[in-house]
Structures are given as structure tokens and as C-alpha cells.
Amino acid sequence: MKRNLSLLMDFYELTMANGYFKDGRHQDIAVFDVFFRSIPDDGGYAIFAGLESIIDYIENLRFDDEDINYLKSRNIFDEGFLKYLENFKFTSDVYAIEEGTPIFPNEPLFIIKGPIIECQLIETMVLLSINHQSLIATKTSRIVREAKGRPVFEFGARRAHSFDAANLGARSAYIGGVTGTSNTLAGRLFNIPALGTMAHSYVQSFESEFEAFKSYALNYPDNTLLLVDTYDTLHQGIPNAIRVHNEILKPMGKSLKGIRIDSGDLAYLSKKVRTLLDEAGLTDTKITVSNALDEFIIRDLVVHQDAMIDSFGVGERLITARSEAVFGGVFKLSALEEDGKLIPKIKISDNVAKTTIPGFKQLYRFYDENNMAIADLITLHDEVIDSTKPYTLFDPMHPWKQKVVENFRVEKKLVPIFEKGKLVYNIPKLSEIRKRKEQLFESLWKEVIRLKNPHEYYVDLSQDLWDIRQELITKHKN
């Protein structure tokens, strides 16, 4: 779905870029980081998503005649700057965490190093891609985990905030672990299983519920899944579903694949429905439920109410991440080149959490001998961690809290995406991203991923990086 999104940027990015150009500073080399400060829903982890959208944006970043004419009409931009945009070419280096990776607050997720004007121009698209898609992937992962292995289907397209949110939300949800989507276009675009059966309107359009079920069974004998709550689930819907099985499907050598309940007390109804189906010999018929579900409702149904549910359809509370609809990623300057050397830059705030981590950085993840994640370590870009020697990790806010780790291995989490403007990253298939998420998730301790009051995963600074940060704080506070 190709569109010209080049001007999808906050206007101040253009006014700043124009200023850099007029001051002759537009080719100065800068480093910007993307990170986030807190995990949605007070969770213990988030899931990174949105990188492919950023790659696509950068690869197609061109300012056409309509863009230039619009900017010219504002009567504030330098002609030389507009000419620069007309001939724009991306030349920066980009590093990022790979999609599907569990992520934690304050660590760099995306780094761009290049002419400051280029860094500034892509800020909005980078943030909106990461913030939206990471939010949905994270919410989905929480929901899927509470289903305890039962399939979860994404049903939220009609409640999404736009068609882009519906499509990219479905993609993010698939990374997060859903089995399929109701969104047919997302199915085609991203090769996600697209599925669905009927709505209440289909049942209402017939003279009787039985006639509606009969029609559906005749049209889809190999995949008959009936919505049974249009009128009365227990006294009409299930008896009619059983009748369709006996009178229509069974003589064809077929069987009723499943039923869906979309209203009422889902725990009570699922148990009653399971009994009725089993008594009719339909022990293999699956029960799917929907109706404003989220991770907390699903947990209660599965863990506390012994609901007889085989799969879940989750819509609005997944596709909008309704409980906390902002991810909160930010884009901050961390270094500027002077005389060929990168000089770390810091933003200091009275709110300690908003004081940034300076410098051109790398991120390492430490694993123990059982392949469980111990901590993440933010270092300077060129630092090397020697896993053959003990390493001292310490809390950057409380540096007296220390732990010496041995018998560990490390992985660099920031990988090259663009080098001097050329794409060097082999974009994986969505199925591969989903598999990565599932594999990396297995390395997280259960205490980190529990739904309520999770253990805080450690994100530490190397000694060299911590020293630079403290030095800059002291310098700018005096």
C-alpha cells in the first residue's frame, strides 16, 4: 500500500532542519537514541516491534513536487533548504533491536548516527512506528500468556483507531502470539492466517436460527463453527447446533467443528455448553468465546473459574491496548561530532527518570549457563565484554548494589540496519520474527513475566558509560 508519507513528521522537525541548513550545520554528525521509560500496565517486559515500517519509510523517503510546493507556500523555509529536500538522500547509519525481542526501560532500541538534519527528519515516523506496534505486541503477549496455550485470535479491526492501526496492529499481534486475525487485508499483506465465520446478522437474516445454521453448514461443511448466542444460548443456540450436526453434517460424514459465545457469563455458559455438547457425543467440538476480553478476564476464566473454553477472540482491548494506550518511547540526542570525535550529550531533569544516558551506545544481554537472561548492559558502542572473565554488574541508580557474574555469555542486541544510507539488514519473514519472540521469551524468568507485581529486570550501565554520565551531570549542575 504505497503512499507518500515523507511529510509525516512534526512541523518543528522541519523548522529545526531549516535552521541547521541555514546555519551550515546540517551535515554535522549526531547520534540520537530511541528508548522508553516505563512498561505499559505496570508489566515486567515489553516486546519490540515496528522496525520494518521504519525501514520501509526510510527506503522511500523522497520529497516530491507537491511536498516542496506545500512547504514553499508556508513562506518560512529557505530556498536552499527546499532544494536540499528536493534532492534528499538518506546517508546515515542505523542500529536497532530486532523485532520480537523482549525489551526493558531506558535501553536503546533504535540508534541513528549521521547528519543531524537526517536524524531530525525521521523522528516522528520512527517514534510512531515503535510506539504503536510495540504497544500492541506487548499487550498481545500478555493476553496470549494468560490463555495458557489456548489459541487467541485478533478480532479488533473494526475498533482500531484507523485502517493503518488495524493492519499494523494485526501484524504486531501476530508477533505477540495470536494464532490468526479477522482482518483479511492483514492476512494478505503479512501472510497471517485470516479467519472468521458469522455475525449475529447472518442468523437474524433467516426465518429461524436453525435455518441460518443449516445454511452455514451446507456452505462450509468442513469448517462449521456456529455463533450460538443470538437469541438464547442454552435453550436455542446449542440445541440448534446439535440438531444441525445430527441432521446435516453427520449424514455427510462431517461434524460440528465449534461454537462461539459472544455474550453472557462466559464461564457459566461454557461449562453448561460443554456438558450439552458432550452429552450429544460432540466431545471434539470446540468452544470459542469473545466479548471485550483482556488478559485479566482471560486469566480469571482459565485459572479461577475453570471455564471450559478452547480459544479466545480478542478485539478492542487488544487492538487499542485499551488499558494503557501509550507506549511512551522518546527520541533524544546523545552525541555530537566535534573535530572528528563524538562528544556525549545529556539532558538533565529534576525528574531523575528523565535524565538521559549520553553517548554512542551498544546493548548487551547477559545469559547464565542455563540460557536464562540475567540482565541487560548498556555500554559505549565500541566496548567489548569478555565473557571468559567475571564481570561486575551494578545498579546505575544505586551503584553500591552490585553482582559479580561468571559462566555467562552475552549477545549484542543492537544490529546494523543501514550503513551510510544503504540497507544492510536482511528483513526476516513475519513467521521468523514471531518464532524469535517465542524463543527469547523462554529466556525470561517467570518472576519477570508474571501479570501482577513482576520482578524488575536489571538494565545496568558499564563503568565507563556510568562515569561519563556522572561527569556530565556534575559539569552541567555546577
| Secondary structure (DSSP) of 379-443 | EETT----TTS-EEEE-SSSTT-EEEE-S-EEEE--EEEEETTEE---PPPHHHHHHHHHHHHTT
Domains of the chain: 1-200+277-338+414-444 (3.20.140.10), 358-410+446-478 (no CATH)
List 331's β-bridge partners, or say none: 34
pLDDT grade for 349, boundaries at 50, 70 and 90? confident
pLDDT digit string, tens, across residues 88-114: 999 999 999 999 999 999 999 999 999
Task: Please state whether beta strands 341-344 and 329-338 pair in parallel, antiparallel, or not at all (unpaired).
Answer: antiparallel
Written as nine digits, the cell of 109 is: 532500541
Which of 193, 197, 194 minimizes the C-alpha distance to 217?
197
Give mean pLDDT, residues 140-147.
98
d(CA 412, CA 376): 10
pLDDT of amino acid 339 = 93
Average pLDDT score, the chain: 97
pLDDT at 394 over 90: yes
CB 410 within 8 A of CB 365: yes
Give mean pLDDT, residues 325-329.
93
pLDDT at 477 over 90: no
List 110's β-bridge partners, or say none: 34, 96
Please report, as a single letter, which amino acid is at residue 218.
L
pLDDT digit string, tens, across residues 77-91: 999 999 999 999 999
pLDDT of amino acid 1 = 57
pLDDT digit string, tens, across residues 436-449: 999 999 999 999 99
pLDDT grade for 116, boundaries at 50, 70 and 90? very high
pLDDT of amino acid 353 = 80
CB 269 within 8 A of CB 233: yes
pLDDT of amino acid 352 = 80
HSE of 214, CA atoms in CB hemisphere, 13 A: 11
pLDDT grade for 427, boundaries at 50, 70 and 90? very high
CA distance from start to end of the chain? 53
CB 379 within 8 A of CB 462: yes
pLDDT digit string, tens, across residues 153-167: 999 999 999 999 999
Give mean pLDDT, residues 109-129.
98
d(CA 101, CA 434): 9
pLDDT at 22 over 80: yes
Give mean pLDDT, residues 333-360.
93
Give mean pLDDT, residues 316-322.
96
Cα radius of gyration rounded to whole Å, the chain? 26
pLDDT digit string, tens, across residues 223-263: 999 999 999 999 999 999 999 999 999 999 999 999 999 99
**pTM metric for this prediction:** 0.97
Give mean pLDDT, residues 285-309.
97
Give mean pLDDT, residues 252-275.
98
Written as nine digits, the cell of 438 is: 517465542
pLDDT of amino acid 354 = 86
Whole-number percent of the chain with pLDDT over 90: 97
Strands (E), 141-193: 152-154, 180-181
Give mean pLDDT, residues 328-351.
94
pLDDT of amino acid 350 = 82
CA distances from 24 to 80, 116, 215, 344 (A): 11, 11, 72, 21
Give mean pLDDT, residues 383-409.
95
HSE of 335, CA atoms in CB hemisphere, 13 A: 25
Kind and range of the H or E element at 296? helix 295-299
Give mean pLDDT, residues 347-367.
93
pLDDT grade for 122, boundaries at 50, 70 and 90? very high
